[in-house]
Amino acid sequence: MVADVSDKGVAAALYMALSRAVMRASALEGRGPAETLRRVNRILLEDARSGMFVSMFYGILDLETGELTYARAGHNPPFWARAGGRSVEALLPRGTVLGILDDPDLEEEVIALAPGDALAAYTDGVTESFNEKDEEFGEDRLKQMLANAASHTADALVSLIDAAVRVFTGERQQFDDFTLVVVKREG
């Protein structure tokens, strides 16, 4: 699960803590990703009247088969990097952010990670990092870095992407959170 709250500061941190706790408790109930996110939404609407919202990507990975069942609630689309540089594709099921609507439109999808495939989930602080020329790091640069995922471990990919963003931004201050999770299925 990767998530991002709509605001910054102490109130946003508290809302994220609430969202995280609700998500953890809901995930333990054994529902699929889309239904779990619907449950989180219902609880957030009942308990929090802050006007904030949260985007989330939530997936359940079967470690034996590589099958990933996932849903996306308005969050940046994770990228699925196929082994051998075959392709890097965005996972784009329909999904509305949580904490605003009574019945968000959430779609659940399933993919199968083959040996060597990687999945990268991130917050917009990764792709919306700017350099001194006001250019954005962007999704295309992230996808290019993931194209050679098969030749790197998940930890190495995180380190490489982190270093690339730091070099790209140079002396420019990071203004948003930076979260990157990479999962890779070994051979």
Q: What is the pLDDT of residues 65-120, one digit of tens each?
A: 999 999 999 999 999 999 976 799 999 999 999 999 999 999 999 999 999 999 99
3-state secondary structure of 161: helix
- The average pLDDT across 165-172 equals 91
Residue 173 above 80 pLDDT? no
Residue pLDDT, tens place only, 111-160:
999 999 999 999 999 999 999 999 999 999 999 999 987 789 999 999 99
Residue 57 above 70 pLDDT? yes
Query: Whole-angstrom distance between the N-terminal and C-terminal Cα of the chain?
Result: 24
Q: How many domains does the chain have?
A: 1
- What is the band of 171 on the pLDDT scale with cuts at 50, 70, 90? confident
- What is the band of 175 on the pLDDT scale with cuts at 50, 70, 90? low
Domain ranges, residue 69: 2-184
- What is the band of 46 on the pLDDT scale with cuts at 50, 70, 90? confident
Distant-in-sequence, close-in-space partners of 54: CB < 8 Å, separation ≥ 6: 3, 4, 5, 6, 15, 16, 19, 44, 73, 97, 98, 99
Cβ contact 35:109 at 8 Å = no
Q: What is the pLDDT of residue 42?
A: 96
- The average pLDDT across 7-11 equals 86
- The average pLDDT across 24-47 equals 95
- What is the band of 9 on the pLDDT scale with cuts at 50, 70, 90? confident
Return the CATH number at 169.
Answer: 3.60.40.10
